[in-house]
Amino acid sequence: GLSTSSSLNAKIQEVIVIGGGLMGAGIAQVAAQTGHKVTLVDISQQVLDKSNARIAESIKRVAKKQFKDDADGAGKFIDSSLANMNIATTANEALLTADLVLEAVVENMALKQKLFAEYDQIAPAKTIFASNTSSLPISEIASSSSRPDRFGGLHFFNPVPVMKLLEVVRIPETSDETFDAMVAWGKAMKKMTVDCKDTPGFIVNRLLVPYLMEAVRLVERGDASAKDVDLAMKLGAGHPMGPFELADYVGLDTNKFIMDGWSARFPDEPLFRQSEMLNKMVAENKLGKKTGEGFYKY
């Protein structure tokens, strides 16, 4: 095995983000904005071009907010952020010096394991590996590498540039040095961090996903309309979005994927039961905002 002396766990400065989707692009953007050297990796150049456009757009919004009447400051912030960003179709070169590799690829266990098994061969001993998975066990992903002591979960929330929380997840093997380095990185990313064990949904999704499903069941029973449930939770509980707006925003396929995984693993847990209504909507490609229709039309 490789040495795990604390001198290996210097500050995280160079970051590789794997996966150019919504989450990966958002994480790479925030890392670049906070002065980290970032490489965003995706096998598809087309996806990377899309991420670049999305990042450029989002950085402008952030700059506008942070530098209201200071066009010069905003320009400098945008330029220096973009200068920290690289894109690549393979991680190989960046892996040689990376402090952290964070994957945000599709929720496919075999793919995640394959990636980390490969990177394990190339990355130096100091490199920490982490997953942004919402619902898969971190331990199972980590088992593909020879460095479970330098492995953990770093779970961000959508939209990453706006949401202030980062869940920092440890598995039993995660060393204290690794955990401390991940927490320190979260602070350097200007997020608030919470510590959590490797349990289904960690904190937020363990509460949020069953809540969204309860909202679907409520409407399925005909107790209220989706529109009224949303209005009720916004005005009665102070939520920024109602459960159906949020489900459409996150994507109904994502919600269903998480529930399917959990109901298979925990068949006796009533909170994780499937919903016919949700299954039907996903089968009809009503996935929410991204396909133009979910519980609402866009």
- Which residues are marked as active site? 134, 155, 167, 205
Which secondary structure element, helix H or strand E, spans residue 169, and what is its range?
strand 165-170
Minimum CB distance to ligand 3HC smaller for 184 or for 204: 204
Q: Which residues of 130-167 are buried (b: 16+ CB within 10 A; e: fewer)?
A: bbbbbbbbbbebbbbbebbbbbbbbbbbbebbeeeebb
Ranked by CB distance to ligand 3HC, the top (closest) residue is 134
Tell me how far apart the alpha carbons of residues 60 and 77 are, in angstroms, rounded to a whole number. Answer: 9
Q: Which of 13, 158, 279, 291 binds ligand 3HC (CB under 6 A)?
A: 158
Which of 159, 194, 203, 277 binds ligand 3HC (CB under 6 A)? It is 159
| Cβ proximity to ligand 3HC, 58 vs 178, nearer residue | 58
Among the candidate windows 105-113, 151-159, 216-224, 286-294, which touches ligand 3HC by CB under 6 A? 151-159
290 is in an annotated binding site: yes
CB of 41 to ligand 3HC, least distance (A): 20
Residue matched to tokens 């619902």: 135
- Contact call for residues 16 and 192 (beta carbons, < 8 A): no
Comparison of 9 and 84: residue with beta carbon closer to ligand 3HC: 84
Interface map 50-89 toward ligand 3HC (x if CB under 6 A): --------x--xx--x------------------------
In terms of CB distance, is 99 or 245 closer to ligand 3HC? 245
CB atoms within 10 A of CB 175: 20
277 has binding-site annotation: no
* 240 forms part of the interface with ligand 3HC (CB under 6 A): yes
DSSP, collapsed to helix, strand or coil, labels residue 246 as helix
- Considering only residues 251 to 270 of the shown chain, the ones binding ligand 3HC according to CB under 6 A are 254
Comparison of 131 and 145: residue with beta carbon closer to ligand 3HC = 131
DSSP letters along 7-48, please? GG-----EEEEE--SHHHHHHHHHHHHTT-EEEEE-S-HHHH
In sequence order, the 6+-apart residues with CB closer than 8 A to the CB of 236 are: none
Binding pattern for the stretch 176-215 against ligand 3HC, x by CB under 6 A and - elsewhere: -----------------------------x--x-------
Q: Which residues contact 278 (CB under 8 A, 6 or more apart)?
A: 213, 216, 252, 255, 256, 259
Cis peptide upstream of residue 159 (ω within 30 degrees of 0): yes
Buried b (16+ CB within 10 A) or exposed e, 44-65: eeebbeebbebbeebbeebbee
Task: State which of positions 160-179 bind ligand 3HC (CB under 6 A).
Answer: 161-163
Quote the least distance from Cβ 158 to ligand 3HC, whole Å: 4
Q: Which of 82, 109, 188, 241 binds ligand 3HC (CB under 6 A)?
A: 241
Both tokens of residue 257?
């994927």
* Residue ranges at the known binding site for CoA: 58, 65, 134
Applying CB under 6 A, the residues found at the interface with ligand 3HC are 58, 61-62, 65, 134, 157-159, 161-163, 205, 208, 240-241, 246, 250, 254
* Residue ranges at the known binding site: 19-24, 42, 58, 65, 107, 112, 134, 158, 290
